[in-house]
Structure 1
Amino acid sequence: MLASWRPSRRSSATSPTTDWYFATPPASEPNLDGLHGSEGAFVATSFWLADALYELDRTDDAIELFERLLGLRNDVGLLSEEYDPVAGHHLGNTPQAFSHAALVTTALRLDAQPAGIVRTLAEEAS
């Protein structure tokens, strides 16, 4: 599931307390295969979707998406700008700073929960 949208946290219309905010991820999820044509799905916006799922108390879905996105890293742990989910390869600029910034932001957000996703993933890796 890769995303091509990001709700802005600055607008009252996209506050986690509005109906629109709660309705957007479920309405978007069936269509998250990237853009038509030669474009792929933007990796950063996929992390933003994980953020939105977490904000909507869909923590398990957020963690599942986050872990799937971590699986997109290349052999040296880097992410590209886009990913082609059909062909299974990176597109666009690699490495992409925005993708990595979104990864870090999402990791910090998920790590703030009681289970601590970053600590849990680190423990599983050791």
Structure 2
Amino acid sequence: MQPVTGPPSIYVVDDDPLILAFLQTALAPRGYGVELFETGAALLGKTRVRVPSLFVVDVRLPTTDGIELVRALRSIDACAEIPILMLTGEGRLDRIVMAMQAGANGYLMKPFSPEQIVAKVRDLTR
């Protein structure tokens, strides 16, 4: 498994194509290398080959729970210290707590502005 070199790279997983496009538009022009995934399995597959600077994971995914995906990422040695930002449209405090306990480093509630996502990403990739 190779770390990504060059500008900070971000692997984003969300089942909503509009959110994926929004994140690509918000982050790529600011110098981030953004790779988009619609499933946790696709993200895990890519992670076995190359590790990003940051993961952005939606809490609700179609085939796997985002919190379970965080646990799976944390079980991979090369990903143990890679920051994870959770996205959630749910305002449920218990899900946020579960995500943080699973190993997430931060969360952002949907909807959010480009400035909010850029600020979170910048903080987590320092």
Same fold (TM over 0.5): no
Q: Pick 1 or 2: higher relative contact order, CA cutoff 8 A, min separation 6.
A: 2
**Structure number with higher strand proportion:** 2
User: TM tier, shorter chain?
Assistant: under 0.3
Larger Rg computed on CA atoms: 1
TM-score, normalised with respect to structure 1:
0.27
**Structure number with higher helix proportion:** 1
